[in-house]
């Protein structure tokens, strides 16, 4: 992967007094006749990629609390951590104003110019943004959105109507990749993810289709896991080709900008949760099993042991943080949109279910077990765990249990760790109903909002400015403990 590029356009404009007079007399005071009315495809694409990744960050910033990867200090995010008036305004704004709007602009412009490869990339990025929005908020604007000024108050589409559209967009993107693209309108270095390699964008589309399929296990497990399995063979083949944006020393990862770098100035907001740390530290829920990713995930500084922050407590009860010394807190760490590792865990879960596996059953096929081990191995290798440490972990009796003893708990536990700080982790937790038999240590956050009646949070409310501006938002508003469609 290449580092994120910067595109700088410098223009020189010499305008005489006569032309200025003509310009004003014609009444076109808001139109610059010396500039194009449209943005070029290769200028627009980097911005859409960056906006999509920022939207993923702002979404995961809160869903990491709701899924208990992270917990809040006594500061702004504490309300979200305690499930109080959760609205995710930053995520909604980033997803719609920056991500979806610009992806649609790129999609339409590419279509009008006859550039199917740009159109395919735009479609895939559009799906990433829209699927994130509907997975978080449930019903969201789609069919009548992006049509101002003709439609100022878009209706809210049902999630069960949006999901088929997501699939259609991805299949269309695959077809577009297969079309001949003009050499003069071909993505290259402006594609900050794959540098114009359309085969990898095609694999991304298939992997995303598998992700969408596995989301719907409650709507018909047999069809969902079989559909996912049918798609995976066309997906990623290694972690070296993950769909991710690589940052550099001038353009920082948003987790570094908004979390780890702020810690260096004493601005503590969120930190690793006690539940997740206790999964990995060998002293909590898997006694004696120390995950070699622990020092790469969390910085305990001079402390002797890793202690996470209790969700909902609102006090500094832990001793570790996501600092710039950690893998995910570094300025240059990639932000992952879809990965080979996630794909392997989808495969492991789907094969386990396809073999008749349940939450309480034990044993599966060799293929499911191999996918489970490969998911762990690939993630550890990606973040820099030494090979010897990987081998030691995989052969530990609590991890390398053989195919006859594999459980759904182990598959989802390892996927939960490997999708650290990704929205997909909360999707999985909800699919399995926050089940503590699958996610050890999972419990309601302390000081949880009483109106949830002791139930887990299942969605976010819409931002207040959206509710105040669009009357259709009020009609679609549901309690925070109401499950989204695929979770029912």
Question: pLDDT digits over 160-186, tens only?
Answer: 999 999 999 999 999 999 999 999 999
- Tokens 């038999």 belong to 437
Kindly give the pairing relationship between strand 70-72 and strand 140-141: unpaired
Per residue in 95-134, pLDDT (tens digit) is: 999 999 999 999 999 999 999 999 999 999 999 999 999 9
Per residue in 359-386, pLDDT (tens digit) is: 999 999 999 999 999 999 999 999 999 9
Report how far residue 184's alpha carbon sits from residue 117's, in angstroms, rounded to the nearest whole number.
12
Minimum mean pLDDT range among 198-202, 264-268, 331-335, 461-465: 264-268
Per residue in 220-240, pLDDT (tens digit) is: 878 899 999 999 999 999 989
For position 4, what pLDDT does the model report?
Answer: 39
For position 220, what pLDDT does the model report?
Answer: 83
Local confidence band at 315 (pLDDT 50, 70, 90 cut-offs):
confident
Q: Do 235 and 35 touch, CB atoms closer than 8 A? A: no
15 pLDDT above the threshold of 50: no
The pLDDT of 44-71, averaged and rounded, is: 98
Name which of 134, 159, 276, 141 is nearest 219 in CA terms: 159
Local confidence band at 76 (pLDDT 50, 70, 90 cut-offs):
confident
Minimum mean pLDDT range among 21-35, 57-71, 145-159, 440-454: 21-35
Backbone angles phi, psi at 31, to 5 degrees: -120, 125
Average pLDDT, the chain: 92
Q: Partners of 272 in the beta sheet?
A: 70
Q: Count CB-CB contacts under 10 A for residue 182.
A: 11
For position 222, what pLDDT does the model report?
Answer: 80
Local confidence band at 206 (pLDDT 50, 70, 90 cut-offs):
very high
For position 25, what pLDDT does the model report?
Answer: 40
- Tokens 């937790």 belong to 429
For position 241, what pLDDT does the model report?
Answer: 92
Sign of CA dihedral 427, 428, 431, 435: negative
Residues sharing a CB contact under 8 Å with residue 363, sequence separation 6 or more, in sequence order = 357, 403, 404, 405, 406
Backbone angles phi, psi at 268, to 5 degrees: -95, 125
Q: Dig out the tokens for 52 from the structure.
A: 């999509």
For position 32, what pLDDT does the model report?
Answer: 55
Kindly give the pairing relationship between strand 335-338 and strand 243-245: antiparallel
Residues sharing a CB contact under 8 Å with residue 211, sequence separation 6 or more, in sequence order = 338, 342, 346, 424
Q: Count CB-CB contacts under 10 A for residue 462.
A: 25
Name which of 203, 100, 78 is nearest 146 in CA terms: 100
The end-to-end CA distance of the chain, in Å, is 39
Minimum mean pLDDT range among 99-103, 300-304, 402-406: 300-304
Q: Which domains does the chain have, with CATH numbers?
A: 41-223+452-487 (1.25.40.390)
Output the 3-class SS for the chain. CCCCCCCCCCCCCCCCHHHHHHHHHCCCCCCCCCCCCCCCHHHHHHHHHHHHHHHHHHHHHHHHHHCCCEEECCCCCHHHHCCCCCCCHHHHHHHHHHHHHHHHHHHHHHHHHCCHHHHHHHHHHHHHHHHHHHHHHCCEECCCCCCCCCCCCCCEECHHHHHHHHHHHHHHHHHHHCCCCCHHHCCCCCCCCCCCCHHHHHHHHHHHHHHHHHHCHHHCHHHHHHHHHHHHCCCCCCHHHCEEECCCCCCCCHHHHHHHHHHCCCCCCEEEEHHHHHHHECCCCCCCCECCCHHHHCECCCCCCCCCECCCCCCCCCCCECCCCCCCCCCCCCEEEECHHHHHHHHHHHHHHHCCCCCCCCCCCHHHHHHHHHHHHHHHHHHCCCHHHHHHHHCCCCCCCCHHHCCHHHHHHHHHHHCCCCHHHHHHHHHCCCCCCCCCCCCCCCCCCHHHCCCCCCCCCCCHHHHHHCHHHHHHCCCCCCCCHHHC
Local confidence band at 26 (pLDDT 50, 70, 90 cut-offs):
very low
For position 33, what pLDDT does the model report?
Answer: 56
For position 129, what pLDDT does the model report?
Answer: 98
Q: Partners of 156 in the beta sheet?
A: 141
Per residue in 328-368, pLDDT (tens digit) is: 999 999 999 999 999 999 999 999 999 999 999 999 999 99
24 pLDDT above the threshold of 80: no
Report how far residue 365's alpha carbon sits from residue 352's, in angstroms, rounded to the nearest whole number.
7
Q: Count CB-CB contacts under 10 A for residue 183.
A: 6
For position 74, what pLDDT does the model report?
Answer: 85
For position 36, what pLDDT does the model report?
Answer: 56
1 pLDDT above the threshold of 80: no
Local confidence band at 50 (pLDDT 50, 70, 90 cut-offs):
very high
Q: Count CB-CB contacts under 10 A for residue 26.
A: 10
What angle (nearest 5°) sits at the alpha carbon of residue 479, between those of residues 92 and 141? 35
Local confidence band at 39 (pLDDT 50, 70, 90 cut-offs):
confident
Report how far residue 268's alpha carbon sits from residue 258's, in angstroms, rounded to the nearest whole number.
10
């Amino acid at each position: 992967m290449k580092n994120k590029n910067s595109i700088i356009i410098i223009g020189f404009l010499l305008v005489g007094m006569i032309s200025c007079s003509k310009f004003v007399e014609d009444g076109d005071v808001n139109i610059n006749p010396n500039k194009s009315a449209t943005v070029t495809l290769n200028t627009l694409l980097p911005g859409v990629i960056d906006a999509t990744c920022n939207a993923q960050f702002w979404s995961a910033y809160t869903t990491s609390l709701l899924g208990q990867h992270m917990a809040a200090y006594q500061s702004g995010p504490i309300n979200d951590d305690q499930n109080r008036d959760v609205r995710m305004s930053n995520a909604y704004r980033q997803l719609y104003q920056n991500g979806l709007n610009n992806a649609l602009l790129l999609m339409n412009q590419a279509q009008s110019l006859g550039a199917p490869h740009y159109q395919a990339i735009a479609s895939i990025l559009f799906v990433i943004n829209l699927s994130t929005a509907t997975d978080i908020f449930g019903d969201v604007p789609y069919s009548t959105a992006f049509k101002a000024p003709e439609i100022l108050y878009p209706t809210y589409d049902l999630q069960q109507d949006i999901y088929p559209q997501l699939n259609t967009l991805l299949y269309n993107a695959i077809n577009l990749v297969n079309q001949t693209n003009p050499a003069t309108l071909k993505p290259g270095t402006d594609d900050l993810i794959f540098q114009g390699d359309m085969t990898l964008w095609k694999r991304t589309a298939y992997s995303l289709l598998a992700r969408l399929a596995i989301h719907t296990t409650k709507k018909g497990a047999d069809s969902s896991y079989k559909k996912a399995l049918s798609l995976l063979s066309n997906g990623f083949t290694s972690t070296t080709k993950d769909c991710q944006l690589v940052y550099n020393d001038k353009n920082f990862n948003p987790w570094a900008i908004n979390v780890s770098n702020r810690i260096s100035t004493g601005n503590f907001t969120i930190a690793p949760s006690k539940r997740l740390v206790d999964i990995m530290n060998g002293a909590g829920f898997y006694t004696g099993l120390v995950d070699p990713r622990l020092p790469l995930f969390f910085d305990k500084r001079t402390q002797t042991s890793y202690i996470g922050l209790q969700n909902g407590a609102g006090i500094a009860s832990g001793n570790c943080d996501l600092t710039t010394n950690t893998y995910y807190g570094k300025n240059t760490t990639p932000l992952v949109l879809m990965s080979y590792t996630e794909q392997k865990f989808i495969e492991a879960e789907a094969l386990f279910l396809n073999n008749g596996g349940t939450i309480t059953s034990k044993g599966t096929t060799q293929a499911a077990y191999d996918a489970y081990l490969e998911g762990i191995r690939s993630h550890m290798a990606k973040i820099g765990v030494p090979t010897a440490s990987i081998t030691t972990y995989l052969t530990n009796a609590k991890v390398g249990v053989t195919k006859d003893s594999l459980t759904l708990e182990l598959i989802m536990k390892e996927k939960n760790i490997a999708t650290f700080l990704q929205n997909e982790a909360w999707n999985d937790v909800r699919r399995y109903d926050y089940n503590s038999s699958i996610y050890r240590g999972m419990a309601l956050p302390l000081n949880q909002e009483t109106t949830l009646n002791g139930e887990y949070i299942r969605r976010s409310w819409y931002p207040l400015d959206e509710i105040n501006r669009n009357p259709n938002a009020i009609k679609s508003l549901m309690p925070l403990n109401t499950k989204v469609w695929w979770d029912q």
